[in-house]
């Protein structure tokens, strides 16, 4: 894939340092009933970096709940992102283990304009508690 961007920052959106508690669920049947906690390190319109105790897997789908109301980008987040039960749905794109036994996890928000959500629907269905 060719990258035509020549600036110092290659991300589409700037990241804001933003430390706040986060609650999340991993959208897998065996662990969905567990509400887990951590905290964010930074956030952008496209995703966030968080620190958590659980070792999630790449491509896991997460339901994330954190204080978006204090962010200047809140309106853009809510407009672009897939929101479900007041939480943002995201996909794990990076995990880095830390010396203290926690994990820094990069999460890319699932956007409403995704062309193919068929790989996400079965995982989100677990969140809804529907039969």
Q: What is the pTM of this model?
A: 0.75
pLDDT in tens, the chain (131 residues): 344 545 444 556 777 788 889 999 999 888 888 999 999 999 888 899 999 999 999 999 999 998 877 666 667 777 778 888 888 999 999 999 999 999 999 999 998 765 555 555 545 554 555 44
Q: Where are the domains of the chain?
A: 16-127
- Sequence-distant (6+) residues with CB within 8 A of 76 are 45
Q: What is the gyration radius of the CA atoms in the chain, in angstroms? A: 15
Indicate the CATH number of 16-127 among 2.40.10.220, 1.10.287.3510, 2.60.40.10, 2.40.50.360: 2.40.10.220
State the residue for tokens 């996890």: 105
The answer to whether 89 and 120 are in contact (CB under 8 A) is yes
């Amino acid at each position: 894939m060719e990258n035509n961007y020549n600036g110092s920052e290659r991300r589409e959106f700037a990241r804001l340092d933003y430390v706040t508690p986060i609650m999340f669920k991993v959208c897998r049947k065996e662990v969905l009933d567990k509400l887990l906690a951590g905290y964010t390190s930074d956030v952008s319109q496209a995703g966030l970096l968080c620190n958590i105790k659980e070792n999630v897997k790449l491509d896991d789908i997460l339901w994330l709940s954190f204080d978006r109301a204090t962010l200047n980008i809140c309106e853009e987040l809510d407009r672009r992102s897939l929101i479900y039960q007041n939480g943002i749905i995201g996909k794990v794109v990076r995990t880095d283990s830390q010396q203290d036994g926690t994990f820094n996890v990069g999460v890319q928000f699932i956007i409403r304009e995704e062309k193919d959500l068929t790989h996400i629907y079965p995982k989100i269905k677990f969140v809804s508690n529907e039969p």
